[in-house]
A and B are shown apart, each in its own frame.
Chain A
Amino acid sequence: MDTHNHFQNKVARYSACLSFVLFLLFSSYISAQTVTGTVSSAADGMPLPGVTVLIKGTTSGTSADFDGNYTIDIPDANSTLVFSYLGFEAQDIEVAGRTTINVVMNEDAQALDEVVVTALGIKREEKSLGYSVENVAAEELTRVAQENVLNSLSGKVAGVTLNNTGGAGSSVSMVIRGAISLSSDNQPLFVVDGVPIANTLNNIGGFGDRNPVDYGNAISDLDPQSIENVSILKGPSAAALYGSRAGNGVVLITTKKAKDKEKMKVNFTSNTVFDVPYRYLDTQSQFANGYFSFSPESQGGSYILPDVIPAGGNGGPELDKGYYAVQWNSPLDANGVPIPTELVSYPDNVKEFVQTGITTTNSITITNSTEALNYRMGVTALDNTGIIPNSDFKRNSFSLSASSKFSDKLEASTNVNVVHGYADNRPASNRGTNPLQAAYSVPANINILDVKDYKLPGTDIYNFSSDYSNPWFLANEVNNSFSRFRVYGNFALDWKVSPSFNIRTSYNLNSFNQTQETKMAPGYNRETNNGTYGIAKTDGLETNIDLLASYNKDLGDFDMTISAGGNLMYQKNNGLINSAATGAGLIVPNLFTVDNIAPATLNYSSYTTERGINSVYGLANFGFKDMLYLDVTARNDWSSTLPVDNRSYFYPSASLSLLVSELVSIPKVDLLKVRAGWARVGNDTSPYQLSSYFNNNGQWENAVLYSGQSGLNTPNLEPEEATSQEIGIDLNMFSNRLRFEGTYYTVENRNQIVPNIPIPGSSGYNSVSINAGVLESKGLELSLGFTPVRTENFNWDVNLNYTTNESTILELSDGVDYIEFWSENKSVSRGYVANAATGEDGLVGNIYSPLIKRVTDVNSPYYNYPLLGSGEDAEWLAQDERVKVGNYNPDFVMGLQTTLSYKNLSLNLTFDWRSGGQYMSQTSRYMVEDGYGQQILNNLINPGISEPGPELKQWVLDNADLLIYGENFLSIGGPPSNGGFAQDLGGSVVYDGIFNAGVVGTHDENGNFILESENLGEAGTAFIPFSVANPWDFGTPHMFDADYVKLREVSLSYDLPSKFIERTAIDNLSVSLYSRNIMLWTKDSEFGIDPERAFQAETSSGNRGTQFKQGIERYNVDPWLVPIGIKIGITF
């Protein structure tokens, strides 16, 4: 400790000397008097290093040292000193003959001069902006550890939608102000310290049949610990300077750097989070595997029932009733015959399968600044063990940022980040090799632990049935590993040519090298030839060379800044992919090399793409009397991916900000600002979309087949063009204890690039990409903050934000009736053109599904009765037409953040409320169809009448609204113990029958209904086993409301009081406990899907490129978690 203090003092003295020397250099006269003192902060009494001390009316001055001490020589005893520091109110103090002046600085209550990072990294006073920029500071990002920085934004930022596939290392989708592009994945451009990082969602990989794996997109490589600030340029007005890359908004990330004149600091942070699973899908564990629910009643009183062997259906005998049957693992008697064993339930199979996930993140950073060099270096290690057995993710990040002043005028800075993300196994999602799907498919009468030791001699897998996958096998023997190195950083020179003119140039680089491998042992039922193997190596590189010159001039009432610059962007991607063809497998098992794939079934390919955009841009800001500001920007892009004749595009913007509160003084009002902006930005297309080319299509005898593409490329594509307008108002009152910000925007997106529009086969192609359509988005973003309590010891802050957005299709091209986003679950999500005549609302996100087919003859006594199939197919028939049944977009999203602090203790809560919108669950559809889902039982109604007849029919008619006229899909009857009707199986009778209320018949050519039979409960009603009750032909039984409230973050942190640590070398020690992403309420999720994860991560086809299919999910069903985290931070 002593040595440390000694070192500190030495540095302090050195620095003081240096200041003094510098002061001498600047001074043009010999001092008359020396003033010394300490500057401290009023908020916490801590010394403030770096405060500027100027002699009023001169350019002479000094700054406070590390410990807040300053020494200044003044020309005469009546001088006035000006103390100023960013974020604090400047003070003028007359020396009045004193030699010691200690100053307490007050934080700038106005906070009006809050500086935000805007396009191209230019720092601006927020008040001068005519558009909305959202800032999230470091403490908000790291208070609760998140593996991905984007997850920290949930609930805190208006106008942003986030989705992720699951645990650590997975891709996160971020959509700003709604999806405005119909063809792209709508991901914003990320710019980290000036380095553009594209964050597309195309890293879904995995080899083998149905083995989709999310390897995480680019932004998952960022280390949240190193981030100082995230600035979200939501609208085109804010982002216009990024031109054709700004179509989906821009997220500027600034990393932490050493501050001038900050003493050396070592910071150590350790986070450990336990992800404790607590809620699983709502499955039934009441019935064994099987289609018929046999019972002693059906077996002449015997408790020995027919064999229960896994073969589809889960409406078999009731469990835990003392029933016996030969089961999959029945022991053999002395004659080698399987013995019936008791049918008991294992309700906790999935719980037994998953484990508590553990993520630890440790980081050390060192910051230091000397006169010559400011630097920060850091290392962060993240180690995650997933909740799925044998799943992991690791990420090691190294960062170095440094800046050095060669002279007063020239500063060089660099920052370099190296990230290594890797995993031995990322579990597959969706369906196929997804271990959770297999775990949920273990019938309730089978103990999942019985097949945990799955290895048999040779390559056989011990399992309860060859038709089912063993979840333990999938988790342990289907290994999807990856390793990705990402290097990004830049080198920049800042030249202050004169106080008003400065030039900045930078070289920015972002590159990655990724290897993905799938090693699949024999045992997966879709890869039956010794498993499979595949390896993909992909490299990406993007370089940007920027030059920006700025000139500012203060002309009394007027001030202006004019900047001009240019950018050369170059991207290159290449890849090499080798794998066994789907189903072809390996020559020998468990040898995972390309050589072990038979040559005829080796899939091999490589690719290289290049792309460049050259740009020039300029911006001008004009200010008048600090109350009226005008911004004008312009950019011209020349994109290599567009045709020569129309590759040049111009993107202008203008915005205006008026500070009404400067114009007229309004009581209690600290700030009243109105603003308006207009901008046009773009979205170009991927490389090589213009002319057609041939592909290798394999061997034909000894010749290589070359074939054209099925899609016709388009030589005259234009970039998408988004034009936006936004207006807003900012109001701060009562010394900023009440803060309001509101923005209304419209974006009109023209020339949508729509791929895969079908064309006649006679053209030689199946489809074409075209520019088509007009899409309009409108939205409102509100945020409201207030501070009900602000005292010395106690502080309470509340911040609310509200977002609503609606995107409407106004036009599509001739011959294009709709854009299809997905077709799943007997339903489609399509965008049609808004048309009052057809009643089509044109909204993006609409879901269309069939309703029950009904009697349409108004004269029939059965008018509006459901039409059923006959006999054993006495199930509801579906209409041919689909109607709008929902929309996957929310009505609004609201976030609430509150901070309560008392002395050194603070409690932070972030809530997130989504209202409106629907999603469809294919998991529910599959699991209810197979009888696993509890819904199959929930949709059965026991009439309390056991025999068909007039009494039963009357009961049905009495409940007609529910059973006949409603779209409720309720079946009448149940299992043997709860209202099951007798079903004659020919010889034996099973008491598990149900029926659906309706009629069988047809309509004649005049629309008259001709009844064949009633199915209303009288004799002749068709009974079917409850195990097949799920209405497979419909999507709506598995559609849910997506409303939810989540406790996004909760943390309780404690800073150790300084009196305990001041005698040590430790500057600061804090401990916090936290949790995150806890579902508090869902409107409609009895099944247990997290509505936030209602999307399918797929490399999809259709009218859309790679994307997350919104509003539909398939086995995206990690259990709900209660994470428990602890964070310790120490600064020396």
Chain B
Amino acid sequence: MNTSNTKVLLGLLVCFFFILSSCSSDDDTNTGIIPFTADIFHSVNGKAVAFQGITNNASSWSWDFGDGSTSNQKNPIHTYTEGGYYTAVLTAADETGATLVKEVELAIDITPYVLLTGGATAESGKTWKLSSAHSEGDYFANADAELSAFDGAPAPLPAGIFGAGLGMGEVYEDEFTFFFDGNYEQDVKADGAVFSGLLYQFVTTGGAGIVNDGGADFGLCTGVFTPEAATFTYAESENMTVSSVYGPGGMLTYNGVSTLDFSGEAFIGLKDFEQKVIIQELTDNTMRLVLFLAASQDFIGVNTNAVILTFEVVK
């Protein structure tokens, strides 16, 4: 007889002869001691930055925003007067007087092109890769006007889904580098292959190029790709027309979107018929792109889906 049953028996006796009391056996509670920690969470809107001091066991918070301003609030909001790169520093102290210092680098009011490429001074450009953590905005969509969520996939995509779920963890390794001068480089890493549409691979290589078909259920795989010298084109706002099984006449236009396009066979994120992508969000550290996918054998080359994925900076 296990202990909880014994407890129950005793409990029963108590209940029976005395009063109706609680006879429950409590679950084990986790009594691990949480250490003193400090981290910074922030968001930027124009020149206004909302800071959150994410701390355990801290009793005071001291912020230096890097422009001469300071604050003692836990979660201050600071508006910078000038654009530029800043380092904000949080010094948290606990009751014993011990302190922790954390800092965050901020790109305030920087143009999107500079956010993408690192600016003119970044000689080795700015390198991005698919974020395995994903974000709340990442999901598998239909290629319709609303980019509605595709029924058969989890939305948002869970962290590491392409690795744990589809067995194609290597897609998180490939790197994409943007240079201020418009040049573009790709590093496909050890497998020599890139994230790609399964149908695209069948159509273009007869299936010979498929390296890992773990994502076949979603029309995804990895396929052989050899990068060549290429350039990219950034448009801050344009009306982008793409093929879509959901559009009239097989075409759909997304108005007023930021886009990235590439020369030759170059692409970012997902190698498929459509190489132009929509930028949904771009910050100093992350960008979220809409990557189109033509996955229907009945409409070869016409987009049926879109994978909306977050990329992160490789430091």
Contact = CB atoms under 8 A, between A and B. Distances in A.
B39 A1124 contact: no
Interface in A278-327: 278-279, 285-286, 290-292, 294, 296, 302-304, 306-307, 309, 311-313, 319-322, 324, 326
Contacts of A313: 158
A335 B27 contact: no
B208 interface: no
A985 B163 contact: yes
Given A309-B136, A338-B136, A1052-B16, A986 B163 contact: yes
Interface string B17-49: 000100111010110101101010101110010
Given A279-B4, A307-B135, A1052-B16, A334 B48 contact: yes
Contacts of A277: 24
Nearest to A330: B136
Contact of A279 (B8, B16, B164, B314): B8
Given A291-B165, A324-B54, A309 B39 contact: no
A274 B27 contact: no
Contact of A987 (B24, B41, B166, B173): B173
B30 A312 contact: no
A303 B25 contact: no
Interface string A1024-1050: 110110000000000000000000001
A307 B11 CA distance: 42
Contact of A306 (B24, B77, B134): B134
A277 B22 CA distance: 10
A300 to B, nearest CB: 10
B45 A335 contact: yes
Contacts of A902: none
A351 interface: yes
A1028 B166 CA distance: 12
Interface in A1000-1038: 1024-1025, 1027-1028
B41 A339 contact: yes
B37 to A, nearest CB: 5
B53 to A, nearest CB: 11
A1078 B7 CA distance: 13
B155 interface: yes
Interface stretch (A340-348, A488-496, A664-672): A340-348
B182 interface: no
Contacts of A339: 41, 52
B229 interface: no
Chain B interface size range: 35 or more
Contact of B8 (A302, A321, A1078): A1078
A1081 to B, nearest CB: 5
Given A304-B39, A986-B163, A1028-B164, A311 B169 contact: no
Given A334-B77, A337-B50, A1081 B27 contact: no
A334 B51 CA distance: 9
B156 interface: yes
Interface string B149-180: 00000111111110111110111110000000
Contacts of B314: 987
A348 B26 CA distance: 9
A720 to B, nearest CB: 43
B39 A303 contact: yes
A302 B103 CA distance: 12
A276 B22 CA distance: 8
Given A985-B132, A988-B132, A322 B35 contact: yes
A351 B27 CA distance: 11
Contacts of A1027: 164
Interface string A5-48: 00000000000000000000000000000000000000000000
Contacts of A986: 129-130, 132, 163, 169-173
Nearest to B149: A466
A821 B34 CA distance: 53
B119 interface: no
B69 interface: no
Interface string A969-991: 00000000000000011111010
Contact of A335 (B29, B50, B132, B159): B50
Contact of B48 (A292, A311, A335, A1122): A335
Contacts of A1052: 16
Nearest to B189: A986
B12 interface: yes
Contacts of A324: 39, 41, 54
Nearest to B175: A987
A333 B34 CA distance: 25
A1103 interface: no
B169 A467 contact: no
Given A307-B135, A311-B156, A1079-B5, A871 B167 contact: yes
B209 interface: no
B169 A291 contact: no
A840 interface: no
B237 interface: no
Interface in A1060-1075: 1073, 1075
Interface residues of A, number: 63
A417 B1 CA distance: 46
A1073 B15 CA distance: 10
B11 A278 contact: yes
B158 A1122 contact: no
Contacts of A1080: 1, 5, 9
B135 A872 contact: no
B112 interface: no
B167 A291 contact: no
Contacts of A322: 34-35, 37, 56-57
B172 A1124 contact: no
B66 interface: no
A873 interface: yes
B214 interface: yes
Nearest to B12: A1122
B133 interface: yes
Given A291-B158, A313-B158, A986-B173, A1124 B20 contact: yes
A778 to B, nearest CB: 33
A274 B21 CA distance: 12
Contacts of B15: 276, 1075, 1122, 1124
Given A311-B155, A335-B50, A988-B132, A872 B214 contact: yes
Nearest to A313: B158
A351 B24 CA distance: 10
A304 B41 contact: yes
Given A340-B52, A987-B172, A1080-B9, A311 B45 contact: no
A1122 B163 contact: no
A291 B50 CA distance: 30
B25 A279 contact: yes
Interface in A457-512: 467
A286 B34 CA distance: 14
B25 A278 contact: yes
Given A335-B45, A1075-B12, A984 B169 contact: yes
Nearest to A1027: B164
A199 to B, nearest CB: 32
A1078 B9 CA distance: 9
A1024 B155 CA distance: 22
Contacts of B160: 291-292, 985, 990, 1025
Instruction: From B8, B11, B20, name the one whose CB has the most chain A CB atoms within 10 angstroms.
Output: B8
A985 B160 CA distance: 7
Nearest to A1119: B24
B315 to A, nearest CB: 10
Given A292-B158, A312-B154, A1025-B164, 19 more contacts: A278-B8, A279-B4, A291-B164, A291-B165, A309-B156, A321-B34, A324-B39, A333-B52, A334-B45, A334-B77, A335-B43, A336-B43, A337-B50, A348-B27, A985-B172, A987-B129, A987-B132, A987-B312, A1122-B11
14 contacts: A279-B4, A286-B30, A303-B39, A306-B134, A307-B136, A320-B30, A337-B43, A340-B54, A347-B27, A467-B154, A871-B167, A985-B132, A987-B131, A987-B173
